C-alpha cells in the first residue's frame, strides 16, 4: 500500500526567533538552515525580510540546497494596492522559493487589530496570494488564530482559508496562534475545513504549545487530513513554543499508526542523528539540554528502578517503547537507592568491572550506596564518585596522596582603596611518599582557594593534573537551616575531552566541596593509568 506524504515545515528561524531570550546571529541562522537542510525537512522558513536588517541580509541568497527556502511576511495592508505595498515588495524581492503570508482569519482580530472590514481583509488575502504567485513563488498562507476564529465565526474563518486556496495558495495553514485549542477540537475543526472544500493535501497546521499539546494537536490535524506540519527544533517558539519537530519526527517514522500510513523526507540515517542534532542545537543556544525530552533526552532511555533494570537487561523491549539507537540515544541503567543488583552489575560492566550477581561484595556495595544515599549522597549524577566507591570495594584504588589537614579563612574588610571586599585563603598539607608538602593559595571564594591550594603542589602528580578543569559546581541544601546537610556536585573535564562528576556531602559546605574535589583528582589519576574512567567520555 502506498503511503501518503507528510510535509515538514520548520519555523525555528522565524517563530523560534520570537522565543524570549533567543536572538540568532546571521552566522547562527546560516548554520541552523544547514542543519535543517541536512535533517531533510521540506521547508525552512528563514525569517521576515524587511522586519530587521539581519533577516533582510539573510535573504540576500538562498540558504538551503534541498529544502524549499521560505520568506515570511504579512498580507498587504488595506488601503494600498499589492503593487504599492512596501512590505510586500520587500518580501517578493527576498531570495526565496516560497512565501508564507500571515493572514487574519478571526473576525475579532480583523475588527480590533486591523481595523478594517471583513471583506477588505479577504481582498488583502486574495491580492497578496495573487501577487506572490505572479512573482513565481510557491505561496502559503498561515491563517492566524484560525481555531479561535472558527469557534467564534466558522463561516468567516473558512472564507479566509478558502480565499487563500482559491487565489492559488499551495498550502493553507491553520494556526493555533494562542495555543489553547485541544486535540479533539483540532480534529473536529480540520475535518470541517476539509468538508468545507479545502483538500487535506493542501492543508497545514501550526500549533503552539500553551497547553503542552502542540505535538498532539499536530498529530490530530494529520489524522483529520492535514498534510503539512509546522514546528521547530526542540520546540522553541513564542511563549511556550511550537510543535517540537524533534519529538514529532521519531513518532511519524517509528510509530506504526503513522509510519504505516505516511512518509516524510526524513531518512532513517537522519533519524539516527536526531539526538545529536537536538543537543547540538541546545549547545548553539548555550543552554543545557532537557534531560526528559522525549526520544532525545539523557533520561529518555534511563532507569533507576531495580525492577525495571532487571527486566530491561533481559530484554530491552520490556521497558523501552522504541530502541534508543533508532534515534541515536542510548540506554542508561543507573545506580541509586532505587536500584537492585541488576542496575549495579550493568553499570559496573560498562565501567569495565565484571562482578557476578551472586558475589557477596556486590551486596555490600549495594547496601553501602543505599546507606550513603540516605545520608545525602546522590550517585546517579556522580559517576566518578560511584566508580571510586565501587573500585575501593571490589578492586583497588592506589593511595596516591593523603591530605593530612586543610584550613580555609574568609575575611571581609576594607582594602587599601577603602572598598569593602572579601578575601579567601586556604592552606593544605599533603603527604606524598612520606613527604609532607604545604600549599597556601588565595581564591575568589573559600572553595576556589582550597582548589588552587590542593592542586598547587601535588609533587610527582602535578604535571598529570595540569589539564584537569572544574567546569561546574552545584550546591544543594538537603534540609533547612544553617546547620543543614549540604551536597556538592563538581563536574570536571580534561584535555582528552572526558567529563566526570563527583559528589561530597557534609554539614559543612567547604568539607563537602573538598570531598568532591579529592574524588575528582583521584579519578583523574586513575584515569591517566587506565584504572578507571572507561565510561567518562560517553
Q: Can you give the binding site for ligand CC(=O)C(=O)O, defined by CB under 6 A?
A: 15, 102, 142, 144, 175, 177, 206, 208
Grid cell listed for 421: 571586599
Asked if 293 touches ligand ACO (CB under 6 A), the answer is: no
Asked if 89 touches ligand ACO (CB under 6 A), the answer is: no
Asked if 236 touches ligand ACO (CB under 6 A), the answer is: no
Query: Least distance in Å: CB of 144 to ligand CC(=O)C(=O)O?
Result: 4
Q: By CB under 6 A, name the one of 51, 240, 272, 322 that touches ligand ACO.
A: 51
Query: Least distance in Å: CB of 249 to ligand ACO?
Result: 23
Contact 63, 113 (CB under 8 A): no
* Rounded-to-integer distance, Cα 32 and Cα 365, Å: 47
Contact 26, 13 (CB under 8 A): no
3-state secondary structure 60-118: CCCCCCCCEEEEEEECCCCCCCHHHCHHHHHHHHCCCCEEEEEEECCHHHHHHHHCCCH
Query: Least distance in Å: CB of 15 to ligand ACO?
Result: 6
Q: Which residue sits closest to ligand ACO, CB atoms considered?
A: 51
* Rounded-to-integer distance, Cα 454 and Cα 467, Å: 15
Q: Which stretch binds ligand ACO (CB under 6 A): 69-77, 357-365, 380-388, 513-521?
A: 69-77
Cell 575501593 sits at which residue? 392
Contact 505, 376 (CB under 8 A): yes
Contact 166, 129 (CB under 8 A): no
Query: Least distance in Å: CB of 441 to ligand ACO?
Result: 52
* Rounded-to-integer distance, Cα 446 and Cα 468, Å: 19
What is the per-residue burial (b if ≥16 Cβ within 10 Å, else e) of 501-513? bbbbbbeebbbbb
Helix, strand, or coil (residue 15): coil
Asked if 80 touches ligand ACO (CB under 6 A), the answer is: no
Q: By CB under 6 A, name the one of 107, 144, 380, 494 that touches ligand ACO.
A: 144
Contact 33, 13 (CB under 8 A): yes
Other CB atoms within 10 Å distance of the CB of residue 129: 28
Query: Least distance in Å: CB of 207 to ligand CC(=O)C(=O)O?
Result: 9
If the CB atoms of residues 137 and 208 are measured against ligand CC(=O)C(=O)O, the closer one turns out to be 208
Q: Where are the beta strands (DSSP E) in 415-462?
A: 420-432, 435-443
* Rounded-to-integer distance, Cα 336 and Cα 413, Å: 44
Query: Least distance in Å: CB of 369 to ligand CC(=O)C(=O)O?
Result: 49
Residue 113's binding partner, choosing from ligand ACO, ligand CC(=O)C(=O)O, none, with beta-carbon cut-off 5 to 8 A by kind? ligand ACO
Residue 368's binding partner, choosing from ligand CC(=O)C(=O)O, ligand ACO, none, with beta-carbon cut-off 5 to 8 A by kind? none
Contact 424, 395 (CB under 8 A): no
Q: Is 292 exposed, middle or buried (0-12, 13-18, 19+ CB in 10 A)?
A: exposed
Q: Which stretch binds ligand ACO (CB under 6 A): 96-104, 339-347, 376-384, 424-432?
A: 96-104
Q: By CB under 6 A, name the one of 65, 113, 466, 475 that touches ligand ACO.
A: 113
If the CB atoms of residues 18 and 326 are measured against ligand CC(=O)C(=O)O, the closer one turns out to be 18
- CB contact set of 368 (below 8 Å; sequence gap of 6+): 389, 393
Asked if 58 touches ligand ACO (CB under 6 A), the answer is: no
Residue 205's binding partner, choosing from ligand ACO, ligand CC(=O)C(=O)O, none, with beta-carbon cut-off 5 to 8 A by kind? none
- The strands making up 499-506's β-sheet, listed across from edge to edge, are 469-477, 486-493, 499-506
Q: In terms of Cα–Cα distance, which of 50, 49, 9, 46 is closest to 24? A: 46
Residue 500's binding partner, choosing from ligand CC(=O)C(=O)O, ligand ACO, none, with beta-carbon cut-off 5 to 8 A by kind? none
Q: Which stretch binds ligand ACO (CB under 6 A): 70-78, 163-171, 248-256, 353-361?
A: 70-78
Residue 206's binding partner, choosing from ligand CC(=O)C(=O)O, ligand ACO, none, with beta-carbon cut-off 5 to 8 A by kind? ligand CC(=O)C(=O)O
If the CB atoms of residues 232 and 520 are measured against ligand CC(=O)C(=O)O, the closer one turns out to be 232
If the CB atoms of residues 164 and 397 are measured against ligand ACO, the closer one turns out to be 164
If the CB atoms of residues 177 and 501 are measured against ligand CC(=O)C(=O)O, the closer one turns out to be 177
Asked if 516 touches ligand ACO (CB under 6 A), the answer is: no
Query: Least distance in Å: CB of 95 to ligand ACO?
Result: 19
Residue 387's binding partner, choosing from ligand CC(=O)C(=O)O, ligand ACO, none, with beta-carbon cut-off 5 to 8 A by kind? none
H-run or E-run covering 144? strand 138-144
Asked if 103 touches ligand ACO (CB under 6 A), the answer is: yes
Angstrom CA distances, 388 to 214, 374, 499, stand at 44, 19, 15
Restricted to residues 175-234, the positions that interact with ligand ACO (CB under 6 A) are 177
Asked if 336 touches ligand ACO (CB under 6 A), the answer is: no
If the CB atoms of residues 175 and 532 are measured against ligand ACO, the closer one turns out to be 175
Query: Least distance in Å: CB of 331 to ligand ACO?
Result: 39
Query: Least distance in Å: CB of 124 to ligand CC(=O)C(=O)O?
Result: 16
Contact 498, 519 (CB under 8 A): no
What is the per-residue burial (b if ≥16 Cβ within 10 Å, else e) of 158-169? bbbbbbbbebeb
Contact residues: ligand ACO, CB under 6 A: 15, 18, 48, 51, 74-75, 77, 102-104, 113-114, 124, 144, 177, 238
Amino acid at each position: 500500500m502506498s503511503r501518503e506524504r507528510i510535509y515538514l515545515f520548520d519555523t525555528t528561524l522565524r517563530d523560534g526567533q520570537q522565543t524570549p531570550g533567543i536572538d540568532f546571529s546571521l552566522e547562527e541562522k546560516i548554520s541552523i538552515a544547514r542543519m535543517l537542510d541536512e535533517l531533510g525537512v521540506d521547508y525552512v522558513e528563514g525569517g521576515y525580510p524587511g522586519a530587521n536588517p539581519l533577516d533582510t541580509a539573510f535573504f540576500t541568497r538562498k540558504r538551503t540546497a534541498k529544502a524549499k527556502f521560505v520568506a515570511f511576511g504579512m498580507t498587504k495592508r488595506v488601503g494600498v494596492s499589492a503593487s504599492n505595498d512596501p512590505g510586500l515588495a520587500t518580501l517578493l524581492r527576498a531570495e526565496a522559493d516560497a512565501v508564507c503570508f500571515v493572514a487574519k482569519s478571526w473576525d475579532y482580530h480583523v475588527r480590533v487589530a486591523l481595523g478594517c472590514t471583513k471583506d477588505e481583509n479577504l481582498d488583502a488575502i486574495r491580492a497578496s496570494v495573487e501577487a506572490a504567485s505572479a512573482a513565481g513563488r510557491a505561496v502559503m498562507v498561515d491563517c492566524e488564530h484560525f481555531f479561535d476564529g472558527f469557534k467564534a465565526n466558522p463561516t468567516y474563518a473558512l472564507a479566509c482559508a478558502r480565499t487563500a486556496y482559491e487565489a492559488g495558495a499551495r498550502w493553507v495553514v491553520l494556526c493555533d496562534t494562542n495555543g489553547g485549542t485541544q486535540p479533539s477540537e483540532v480534529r473536529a475543526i480540520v475535518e470541517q475545513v476539509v468538508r468545507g472544500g479545502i483538500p487535506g493535501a493542501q492543508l497545514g497546521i501550526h500549533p503552539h504549545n500553551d497547553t503542552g499539546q502542540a505535538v498532539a494537536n499536530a498529530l490530530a490535524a494529520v489524522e483529520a487530513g492535514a498534510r503539512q506540519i509546522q514546528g521547530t527544533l526542540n520546540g522553541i517558539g513564542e511563549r511556550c513554543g511550537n510543535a517540537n519537530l524533534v519529538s514529532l519526527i521519531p513518532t511519524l517514522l517509528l510509530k506504526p499508526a503513522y509510519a504505516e500510513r505516511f512518509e516524510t523526507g526524513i531518512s532513517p540515517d537522519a533519524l539516527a542523528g536526531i539526538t545529536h542534532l537536538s543537543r547540538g542545537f541546545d549547545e548553539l543556544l548555550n543552554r543545557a539540554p532537557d534531560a526528559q525530552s522525549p526520544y532525545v533526552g539523557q533520561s529518555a532511555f534511563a532507569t533507576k528502578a531495580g525492577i525495571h533494570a532487571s527486566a530491561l537487561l533481559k530484554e530491552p523491549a520490556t521497558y523501552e517503547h522504541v530502541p534508543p539507537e533508532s534515534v541515536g540515544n542510548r540506554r542508561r541503567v543507573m545506580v541509586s537507592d532505587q536500584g537492585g543488583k541488576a542496575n549495579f552489575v550493568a553499570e559496573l560492566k560498562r565501567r569495565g568491572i565484571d562482578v557476578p550477581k551472586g558475589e557477596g561484595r556486590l551486596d555490600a556495595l549495594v547496601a553501602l550506596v543505599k546507606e550513603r544515599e540516605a545520608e545525602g549522597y546522590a550517585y546517579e549524577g556522580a559517576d566518578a564518585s560511584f566508580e571510586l566507591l565501587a573500585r575501593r570495594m571490589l578492586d583497588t584504588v592506589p593511595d596516591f596522596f593523603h591530605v593530612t589537614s586543610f584550613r580555609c579563612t574568609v575575611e571581609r574588610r576594607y582594602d587599601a582603596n577603602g572598598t569593602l571586599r572579601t578575601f579567601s585563603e586556604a592552606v593544605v598539607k599533603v603527604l606524598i611518599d612520606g613527604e609532607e608538602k604545604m600549599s597556601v593559595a588565595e581564591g575568589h571564594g573559600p572553595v576556589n582557594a582550597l582548589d588552587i591550594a590542593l592542586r598547587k603542589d601535588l609533587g610527582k602528580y602535578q604535571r598529570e593534573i595540569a589539564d584537569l578543569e572544574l567546569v561546574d559546581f552545584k550546591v544543594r541544601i538537603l534540609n533547612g537551616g544553617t546547620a543543614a546537610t549540604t551536597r556538592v556536585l563538581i563536574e570536571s573535564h580534561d584535555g582528552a575531552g572526558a567529563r566526570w562528576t563527583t559528589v561530597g556531602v557534609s554539614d559543612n559546605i567547604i568539607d563537602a566541596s573538598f570531598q568532591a574535589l579529592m574524588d575528582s583528582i583521584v579519578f583523574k589519576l586513575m584515569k591517566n593509568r587506565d584504572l578507571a574512567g572507561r565510561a567518562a567520555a560517553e
